[in-house]
Structure formats: structure tokens, C-alpha cells
């Protein structure tokens, strides 16, 4: 294993809503993703999902209220909870989730990414 510089890793890609794997830990992936605009409503039947805002702001809409995250804050979406990530401006997010987690969960979308790149 080697140390990871988040700013350097984020500079290696430009795409949005396209997670990149930067590490593995106990059958979990550490992923980086740049986001802007609205994702899709989705949920994960069997996995929790951690969103950590590295840069910018992220709004996570839930059916019963919204969570606003600023730089340095994180929130864990519990399995089964439907959510919609939204970023008014570009934001950089670190995700921590099981390897088998698909970014759109149980929802099939044009934003579904099944072949994650490793950077």
C-alpha cells in the first residue's frame, strides 16, 4: 500500500458521477467521484454508503428530509434508504462502501457505472 494524495487523485479525471477506486480495505472500496447537478433517486438493499465531502458542498435528499454536507463532513446512508445526491457546483466526494456496491444501487440508469476505473 502507498499513501494517497486526494488532490492529486482528483486531478487525474474530469468525468462526473463516475467513481474511481483509490483503495481497498476489508472488502470495501475507497472511491473518489466528482459530482455536479442531480444524480438519480436510488437505494442499496444490502450496503451502507459513506459520503465524505472533500471539496464543495453536497445535498443528499431523503424522502423524509435533506442532509447538507460541507467540506470535511460525512454522512452514512443506511442500507435500504432511498436518496438523491445533488451538487449545485462541482464537488469532490470520497465514498466508502462494499466492493459489490453499484453507484445507482437497485436503480438502472444512464448514470450506472459497473466497470470502475482504478487510479
Q: What is the pLDDT of residues 44-59, one digit of tens each?
A: 999 999 999 999 999 9
Residue 75: inside a domain? yes
Q: Which domain holds residue 98?
A: 6-109
Helix H or strand E segment including 32: strand 28-38
Residue 85: inside a domain? yes
**pLDDT tens digit sequence for 85-105:** 999 999 999 999 888 877 766
| CATH code of residue 51 | 2.60.120.10
Grid cell digits, residue 34: 466528482
Number of domains observed in the structure of the chain: 1
Give the separation between CA 109 and CA 105, rounded to whole angstroms.
10
Chain centroid to Cα 101, Å, comes to 11
Amino acid at each position: 500500500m502507498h499513501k494517497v494524495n486526494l488532490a492529486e487523485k482528483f486531478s487525474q479525471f474530469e468525468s462526473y458521477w463516475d467513481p474511481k477506486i483509490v483503495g481497498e480495505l476489508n472488502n470495501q472500496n475507497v472511491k473518489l467521484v466528482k459530482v455536479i447537478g442531480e444524480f438519480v433517486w436510488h437505494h442499496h438493499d444490502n450496503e451502507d454508503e459513506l459520503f465524505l465531502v472533500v471539496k464543495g458542498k453536497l445535498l443528499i435528499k431523503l424522502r423524509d428530509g435533506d442532509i447538507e454536507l460541507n467540506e470535511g463532513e460525512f454522512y452514512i446512508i443506511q442500507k435500504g434508504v432511498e436518496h438523491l445526491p445533488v451538487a449545485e457546483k462541482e464537488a469532490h466526494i470520497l465514498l466508502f462502501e462494499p466492493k459489490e456496491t453499484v453507484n445507482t444501487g437497485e436503480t438502472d440508469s444512464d448514470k450506472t457505472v459497473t466497470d470502475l476505473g482504478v487510479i
